[in-house]
Chains A and B, each alone.
Chain A
């Protein structure tokens, strides 16, 4: 193990640089410090705080499950939950379908053209949420926004978009689809590329048309990638906040008060209630874990159908 060396100093150095375990622990040490301080301890602390009555200023008081009881009895919590789910339902299905469509379209181009298209498609995803929200707030402005000007060309009357309780959530969903759909399409496109072309050729010999091929070959074989895309987008979608903070700030008439909004109200309201805020965040986490498990089971994400063909 230790290389023979002439002086004791260099042998110490070579011991230090060549002891695999020592090097390994030195290598993970900084990341471990960060993990323990900013991930592990806070995760445990979150659960602890959710059992406290605490306004940051006075002494915290242990209240057991009282925060959770209050939370589940709070109509505002349930309406925030409902708004969040309504948003997720507007966001995810449409985004996923559009991403699949875009991926299939990309797949028809030569690699040079598709590289260029993908580089352009990724741009919205690279922009900050705040910027995307501002940009669309201006374009969707009810009276002067360009979107209404364009709709007018097609004879469609002016829409209130973010200004009306009915259209606010769908509008915010569209804004986030705009930011994420290219990114999702690129992931799905990568999934398309690993499907062996021989399968399509065999299907063509059997007389299958494009649509049959898509539903019998493409879609089933995309399942692992789709599972990944769906799980990550649903987790992100439940945590919608930035876009709403910039565009509607919870309004109009409370129609965009999602769960993260509810949590922040508990922190920044006149009566600071860290316990309730954290309890709500723990509930959100529990929901996300449940949704992830359900999705993984339904989509059997771990296994690929490709094995069945070989």
Chain B
């Protein structure tokens, strides 16, 4: 693969030439990569395959690689496009006939994730810039406290936060779900600060000599220079909020504010133990992973690069 050595005798067929150039190491690496790709991609295919299968046929041939009697019925069902009475009429015992309107959950997930992303990215970037570039009393002490916050496990904070949100009477509301993540997370401040620190100071210095204000330098010079990482940060925050389960489960189980992750967990608990409604569950799953797939298609590379960067503290 990478170690293509020139052969003394070159066969005419380029394919055979390629095979001959392979070492045993290359073969092993090739096999490992093939297994890896299979392990990552096959489960995703299985979601699609099950979601497109006729729900009454899910159990008829469990090893069929392609969908059985391909249908968009399940997707329409989780998106509330099919009248529940129709499902009852099908007399299929393993279908959950309850209201399955994922549009509401989809909407809630989008609202919650957007609010968190906008707040957290903005405020964390501002704080990160102050910590990286500005001088003010207690700067290092405050930053040290933030770093300590990075270490505290979620569960320790969740209980007092739950009590606090309950005292404010915000249980079951969007503000209650977004509040703990809206202003900052220690990680995003830390992450953005790293990027501001990598910026070349000369540019900011010369702008200062030209009479630019502190605010002006931030807004017109530093911020545009870290546009890329800032955007990646926003994408990662969005995905993180979208994926969050425990907190919205604690404070937002009611229908009006239920997000997709909680909805899927509830859906799973409602289906009968023996024969869960797999076709419906997998259709719900597809709805829930759409943003992830979009991120992967458009920013996969960027996300990977920023993860690598974050590893070097």
Decide if A131 is an interface residue (CB 8 Å cutoff): yes
Asked if A24 and B136 sit within 8 Å, CB to CB, the answer is yes
Chain A residues 161-217 with CB under 8 Å of chain B are: 178, 182-183, 186-187, 189-191, 210
Asked if B160 and A46 sit within 8 Å, CB to CB, the answer is yes
Cα–Cα distance between A267 and B162 once the two chains are bound (Å):
11
Tell me, rounded to whole Å, the shortest Cβ–Cβ distance linking B291 to chain A: 9
Tell me, rounded to whole Å, the shortest Cβ–Cβ distance linking B53 to chain A: 12
Closest Cβ neighbor of A42 among chain B residues: B160
State which of B9-17, B43-51, B71-79, B224-232 sits at the interface with chain A: B43-51
State which of A62-70, A73-81, A110-118 sits at the interface with chain B: A110-118
Asked if B43 and A135 sit within 8 Å, CB to CB, the answer is yes
Asked if B183 and A46 sit within 8 Å, CB to CB, the answer is no
Asked if A130 and B295 sit within 8 Å, CB to CB, the answer is no
Asked if A123 and B62 sit within 8 Å, CB to CB, the answer is no
Q: Which of A24, A34, A129, A225 contacts B184 (CB 8 A)?
A: A34
Asked if B136 and A17 sit within 8 Å, CB to CB, the answer is no
Asked if A35 and B156 sit within 8 Å, CB to CB, the answer is no
Asked if B265 and A28 sit within 8 Å, CB to CB, the answer is no
Asked if B62 and A23 sit within 8 Å, CB to CB, the answer is no
Cα–Cα distance between A200 and B2 once the two chains are bound (Å):
17
Find chain B residues with CB under 8 A from A34 CB.
Answer: 123, 180, 182-184
Asked if B50 and A123 sit within 8 Å, CB to CB, the answer is no
Using known A-B contacts A24-B139, A27-B126, A27-B127, determine if residue A123 contacts B246 with beta carbons closer than 8 Å: no
Asked if A18 and B160 sit within 8 Å, CB to CB, the answer is no
* Proximity string of chain B (91-129) to chain A, C-beta cutoff 8 Å, 1 when within and 0 when not: 000000000000000000000000000010011101101
* Proximity string of chain B (189-204) to chain A, C-beta cutoff 8 Å, 1 when within and 0 when not: 1000000000000000
Asked if B295 and A23 sit within 8 Å, CB to CB, the answer is no
* Proximity string of chain B (30-54) to chain A, C-beta cutoff 8 Å, 1 when within and 0 when not: 0011001101110110110010000
Find chain B residues with CB under 8 A from A228 CB.
Answer: 311, 313
Asked if A31 and B127 sit within 8 Å, CB to CB, the answer is yes
Tell me, rounded to whole Å, the shortest Cβ–Cβ distance linking B43 to chain A: 6
Asked if A187 and B308 sit within 8 Å, CB to CB, the answer is yes
Using known A-B contacts A49-B163, A281-B153, determine if residue A30 contacts B282 with beta carbons closer than 8 Å: no
Asked if A101 and B39 sit within 8 Å, CB to CB, the answer is no
Asked if A33 and B304 sit within 8 Å, CB to CB, the answer is no
Using known A-B contacts A31-B123, A46-B160, A288-B153, determine if residue A120 contacts B63 with beta carbons closer than 8 Å: no
Asked if B40 and A120 sit within 8 Å, CB to CB, the answer is yes
Asked if A109 and B1 sit within 8 Å, CB to CB, the answer is yes
* Proximity string of chain B (129-162) to chain A, C-beta cutoff 8 Å, 1 when within and 0 when not: 1110011110100100110010111111101110
Asked if B308 and A190 sit within 8 Å, CB to CB, the answer is yes
Closest Cβ neighbor of A239 among chain B residues: B153
Asked if A31 and B126 sit within 8 Å, CB to CB, the answer is yes
Decide if B173 is an interface residue (CB 8 Å cutoff): no
Cα–Cα distance between A109 and B242 once the two chains are bound (Å):
33
Q: Which of A102, A122, A135 contacts B307 (CB 8 A)?
A: A122
Decide if B56 is an interface residue (CB 8 Å cutoff): no
Asked if B180 and A182 sit within 8 Å, CB to CB, the answer is no
Using known A-B contacts A30-B123, A187-B311, determine if residue A120 contacts B245 with beta carbons closer than 8 Å: no
Q: Which of A45, A118, A130 contacts B304 (CB 8 A)?
A: A118
Cα–Cα distance between A144 and B63 once the two chains are bound (Å):
8
Find chain B residues with CB under 8 A from A277 CB.
Answer: 159
Asked if B304 and A25 sit within 8 Å, CB to CB, the answer is no
* Proximity string of chain B (243-276) to chain A, C-beta cutoff 8 Å, 1 when within and 0 when not: 1011000000000000011001100100000001
* Proximity string of chain A (50-75) to chain B, C-beta cutoff 8 Å, 1 when within and 0 when not: 00000010000000000000000000
Most buried by A among B46, B137, B213: B213
Q: Which of B155, B180, B183 contacts A281 (CB 8 A)?
A: B155
Decide if B164 is an interface residue (CB 8 Å cutoff): yes
Asked if B50 and A138 sit within 8 Å, CB to CB, the answer is yes
Cα–Cα distance between A14 and B276 once the two chains are bound (Å):
65
* Proximity string of chain B (164-191) to chain A, C-beta cutoff 8 Å, 1 when within and 0 when not: 1010000000000001101110100100
Asked if B29 and A105 sit within 8 Å, CB to CB, the answer is yes
Interface residues of B (CB under 8 A from A): 1-3, 25-26, 29, 32-33, 36-37, 39-41, 43-44, 46-47, 50, 58-59, 62-63, 119, 122-124, 126-127, 129-131, 134-137, 139, 142, 145-146, 149, 151-157, 159-161, 163-164, 166, 179-180, 182-184, 186, 189, 211, 213-216, 218, 239, 242-243, 245-246, 260-261, 264-265, 268, 276, 278, 281-282, 285, 288-289, 292, 295-296, 300-301, 303-304, 307-309, 311-313
Interface residues of A (CB under 8 A from B): 3, 14, 17-21, 23-25, 27-28, 30-35, 37-43, 45-46, 49, 56, 101-102, 105, 108-110, 113, 115, 117-124, 126-131, 134-139, 144-146, 149, 178, 182-183, 186-187, 189-191, 210, 225, 228-229, 235, 238-239, 241-242, 245-246, 260, 263, 267, 274, 277-278, 281-282, 284-285, 288-289, 292
A-B contact pairs, 30 of them (CB 8 A): A3-B211, A17-B215, A20-B134, A23-B218, A25-B130, A28-B126, A38-B157, A39-B157, A39-B186, A42-B161, A43-B160, A45-B160, A45-B163, A46-B160, A105-B32, A105-B36, A113-B1, A127-B289, A128-B242, A130-B265, A131-B285, A135-B43, A137-B268, A138-B46, A139-B46, A178-B43, A229-B311, A235-B153, A241-B246, A274-B163
A-B pairs, top 8 by smallest CB distance, nearest first, are A34-B183, A119-B300, A190-B308, A42-B160, A128-B243, A31-B127, A31-B184, A45-B160
